[in-house]
Structure 1
Amino acid sequence: MSSSTDNTADIPAASPDAAAAGDMAVIARQAIVDANRAVFGYELFDRSTAHDAHTAASDAALLFNALSYGGAEALVGKLTVFINCTHESLAGGHLELIHPDKVVLEVPTLPDGATPEAIAACLDIFSELKTRGFRLAFDQQVLRRPYASWVPMAAFIKLDMAAFKPELAGPLVQFARTYSQAEIVAEKVETAEQFQRMADLGVKLFQGYWFAKPSLVQAKTIRPSQATIIQLINLVRRQGSTAEIEELLKRDPTLSFNLLRFINSSGFGLQCEITSFRHAVMILGLKKLFRWAALLLTTSRAGGSPPAVGTMAVVRGRLMELLALELLPAEDCDNAFVVGVFSMLDTMLGMPLDKALNSVALPESVVDALLHDRGIFAPFLALAKACESGDEAAFAHNAEQLQLSNHQVNWAHLQALAWADSLGGE
């Protein structure tokens, strides 16, 4: 592991309650700044559990949580993310899910005693990652003679101020500049003297306690049940149609919410917002959808969110969709379903609905119904809620507003209940 990961020793772990609940993505970030203390990027550390081993799986989970659950905007904004990697994780499919412009992969040197053949074998992976647009960072161990072939691959070389004597700073910086085009980062900078020494040598980027200690960013997660994710994986593996995949997404509000939030994160690199399940599936394609579902499975819990909440949300969405079919164009019926399903995100996430909706892209008409009780979907939502509560006055008022008969509404409600019930039996 690169020396930068030693910074984790003093990073606070997640609170026991959050860790026990299993519903918090807890990520520590430490700023990498320029000489004027403007933030260039953040190095991220997974703190969801205390001091777990650094593995390929944990690399994937950290990146996945940072870009999905954490909400990349809240975590890093438009800045660069530095992620420590094992050599195994560099070949991982999770890297296919992110836009390479957003991420710097921090790569450790190999364990002592590594053969020249093992060192040379890494070059093919590095070359492929660079071709795909990823930038690589190494620590000062890469400046040792056995790793001479790695040095030209570096976009960043991190010099650990605790790992060499002050008088070696100049030669190390000069050597790195002579044999690479890498930007040098002075890390573990803890004093003004260390900062000034490296700044005088022309170093432009800094990381360490003298600038900022790592801080925690906690994000509420909403995790689908493993059973539903496995259904999605199986559907993708047998190359199910877009319509079949969309149907599964519509059955589980937690699954669809995660997909829309992920595909619209800055890490995915799209220039436009994706607001429909079908569009999301088409944009991702089966290969990336499989990668996403597999990663989601590794970070999910056996139970998922409370079943009753998810079932009620699905019934509400299906009821609104069936009622909309009587009155609205087909594309609006899809959005009616989304309104119903996402109208219970506040309960699922344990946060105000407006805050929950900040992390997912939705059409304005959907947001108007959910947050402002207005627009074409508002009376459908009010009617669906009246069906659940048994409020006869509200039922009569909203059914009349939509010019729907009691029979039409009751029949649609029964169909929605039966549909939701059939999903649970798969």
Structure 2
Amino acid sequence: MSERHFVRATPRHIEVLEQGAEDADPASGAQFVYLGRQPILDRDGALNAYELLFRSGAHNYAEVSDDAQATAQVVARAIGGIGVAAVLGQHRGFVNIDRALLFNDIVHLMPPERFVLEILETVKFDAHLGRRLTELRRAGFQVALDDVSELSDELLAALPHADIVKIDFLQTERSALAKLASTVRGHGKTLIAEKVETREDFLLARDLGFDLFQGYFFARPQVLAAPRNRSPRPGLLRLLALLSRDAGITELEAELKQNPSVVVQLLRLVNSSAFGLGRNIASLREAIIATGTRQIARWAQLLLYADSGDLPWRADPLVQLAGTRSRFMELAAGCLRPFDDDFADAAFMTGIFSLVHVVLGSTPAAVLEKLGLAPQIREAIVTRGGALGTLLRIAEAAGEGADAALIAGGPDAPPGFAALTPEVLAELNLSAAAWFGAHIEEAA
């Protein structure tokens, strides 16, 4: 076992824990966030990129029970918790991503020129996924296929939608390697040999024309550690409330000034993203203008679900209910008005705030009056009025197993709500439940 080495990075206090990290004091885990990274090298042995890996503590191995949740943690920690500059330097980061997060708005928090979307081998390719990957590549992302080990029909169908293919040297039959590599290279894709553990495998991969290499033969993952930034729940809720009613920069600035930990992470977000400014941003006002309110909302939502506060989110049934309900309402709003992003955003916010009074031990009217929510959201929660109020009643019924379609097709429902048939509502319920797992912190 090698000795532990510490590398200090300024201005952010970062510790790089290499082999031997499992000897770290476990009692310190609650005060730090952790992230693994493994180098990806080119044919000359030069560093080309890193794969970013989930770590729940200083020990150098993953404890992943939920792929989407682990990815949310990696994104939150790389961008806000530690910072892209400290994690990646000038290189790119490969991030494992599952199907749920591929279709989630949170993916756009990652600057596409800095992050590669590494599609997990568990993701099944279909036409819907193909269209989404086309959208993401047009937005500037590169897509990598992970853990490829055979020349399958599914691989051939996915190749036109990918830029990079990672071939698993532990799982691939040596007799099949040459044809697999030749086929992938013939489609113009970058080839990465992953899980390379011996010099013989490295020489074989190089002879077969692989472009990049990753594995224990070159380097084991490092564990990065940085002090944990707690994001106070009330401050995040107030920030989301301001965003829900299109508050001005002055109001946003005043609220953020009361939440230093959120400000620190916001500045890291804007300084790590491609805003075309050619310089770092130091002032809060500049950060708000450069980031944009939609990006700030994405980030606040990610913090709300991926960064634990005073309570373990996974264990809190009210948070689970609010998170699932908000996503259900957002999806339903998208079905009803496919081209109205403002309506979908308002529906999400309505779901988020519909149970805040229970969490804070007050009444809906009292809590929402203090938060200053947009009138239509406040009306929906307090009186169940308007289109958002009807959506909320539908979401409540769906969550309780009642006949939500009866509300959607009832005489009091706004025009068009009958499109929310039992079949559509059942699908939305499943999608919302699956989504929530991507936004919660691991249980303490």
Give the TM-score of the pair, scaled to structure 2.
0.60
The CA RMSD measured in Å over matched residues stands at 2.3
3-state SS in 2 of match to 1:68: helix
Do 2:111 and 2:272's aligned partners in 1 also have CA atoms closer than 8 Å? no
Aligned to 2:68: 56
Aligned partners of 2:195 and 2:277: how far apart in 1? 35
Aligned partners of 2:309 and 2:81: how far apart in 1? 18
2:101 aligned with 1:84? no
Return 127-136 or 168-177, whichever deviates more.
168-177
2:304 aligned with 1:292? no
Structure 1: which amino acid aligns with 2:164?
A: F
Do 1:225 and 1:301's aligned partners in 2 also have CA atoms closer than 8 Å? no
2:220 aligned with 1:208? no
Aligned to 1:144: 152
When residues 92 and 151 of structure 1 are mapped into structure 2, their CA distance, relative to the original with a 3 A threshold, is same
Structure 1: which amino acid aligns with 2:90?
A: K
Aligned to 1:241: 248
Q: Tell me by how many angstroms 1:148 deviates.
A: 2.1
Q: Tell me by how many angstroms 1:279 deviates.
A: 1.4
Unaligned runs of 5+ in 2: 1-18, 312-444
Misfit runs of 4+, over 4 Å = 10-15, 266-270
Aligned to 1:376: none
Return 41-50 or 242-251, whichever deviates more.
41-50
Q: Tell me by how many angstroms 1:195 deviates.
A: 0.6
When residues 82 and 99 of structure 1 are mapped into structure 2, their CA distance, relative to the original with a 3 A threshold, is same
Aligned partners of 2:161 and 2:155: how far apart in 1? 11
Do 1:11 and 1:214's aligned partners in 2 also have CA atoms closer than 8 Å? no
In the TM superposition, what whole-angstrom CA distance separates every residue of 1:65-97 from its partner, at most 9, and x where no partner exists?
A: 112221222211010100101011111212222
Residue from 78, 82, 85 that aligns with 1:66: 78
Do 2:230 and 2:309's aligned partners in 1 also have CA atoms closer than 8 Å? no
3-state SS in 1 of match to 2:157: coil
Q: Tell me by how many angstroms 1:255 deviates.
A: 2.2
2:234 aligned with 1:224? no
Aligned to 2:184: 176
More helix by percentage: 1
Do 2:266 and 2:296's aligned partners in 1 also have CA atoms closer than 8 Å? no
3-state SS in 2 of match to 1:258: helix
2:148 aligned with 1:123? no
Aligned to 2:114: 102
Aligned to 1:17: 27
Return 244-253 or 127-136, whichever deviates more.
244-253
Aligned to 2:285: 278
Aligned partners of 1:88 and 1:224: how far apart in 2? 24
Residue from 263, 268, 272 that aligns with 1:261: 268
Do 1:188 and 1:209's aligned partners in 2 also have CA atoms closer than 8 Å? yes
3-state SS in 1 of match to 2:143: strand
Q: Tell me by how many angstroms 1:202 deviates.
A: 1.7
Q: Tell me by how many angstroms 1:12 deviates.
A: 6.1
Do 1:57 and 1:89's aligned partners in 2 also have CA atoms closer than 8 Å? no
In the TM superposition, what whole-angstrom CA distance separates every residue of 1:304-337 from its partner, at most 9, and x where no partner exists?
A: 9xxxxxxxxxxxxxxxxxxxxxxxxxxxxxxxxx
Aligned partners of 1:15 and 1:127: how far apart in 2? 45
Aligned partners of 2:140 and 2:166: how far apart in 1? 20
When residues 37 and 236 of structure 1 are mapped into structure 2, their CA distance, relative to the original with a 3 A threshold, is same
When residues 176 and 300 of structure 1 are mapped into structure 2, their CA distance, relative to the original with a 3 A threshold, is closer
Structure 1: which amino acid aligns with 2:73?
A: A
Paired residues, number: 287
Aligned partners of 1:15 and 1:105: how far apart in 2? 33
Aligned partners of 1:269 and 1:58: how far apart in 2? 30
In the TM superposition, what whole-angstrom CA distance separates every residue of 1:357-384 from its partner, at most 9, and x where no partner exists?
A: xxxxxxxxxxxxxxxxxxxxxxxxxxxx
Aligned to 1:367: none
Aligned to 1:351: none
State, as a whole percentage, how many aligned pairs show the same letter: 32
In the TM superposition, what whole-angstrom CA distance separates every residue of 1:30-53 from its partner, at most 9, and x where no partner exists?
A: 110012221100001110256132
Structure 2: which amino acid aligns with 1:100?
A: P
Structure 2: which amino acid aligns with 1:177?
A: R
Aligned partners of 1:217 and 1:107: how far apart in 2? 23
3-state SS in 2 of match to 1:40: strand
Structure 2: which amino acid aligns with 1:145?
A: D
When residues 269 and 88 of structure 1 are mapped into structure 2, their CA distance, relative to the original with a 3 A threshold, is farther
Give the TM-score of the pair, scaled to structure 1.
0.63
Q: Tell me by how many angstroms 1:207 deviates.
A: 0.4
3-state SS in 1 of match to 2:82: coil
Aligned to 1:38: 46
Do 2:68 and 2:97's aligned partners in 1 also have CA atoms closer than 8 Å? yes
Aligned partners of 1:299 and 1:89: how far apart in 2? 13
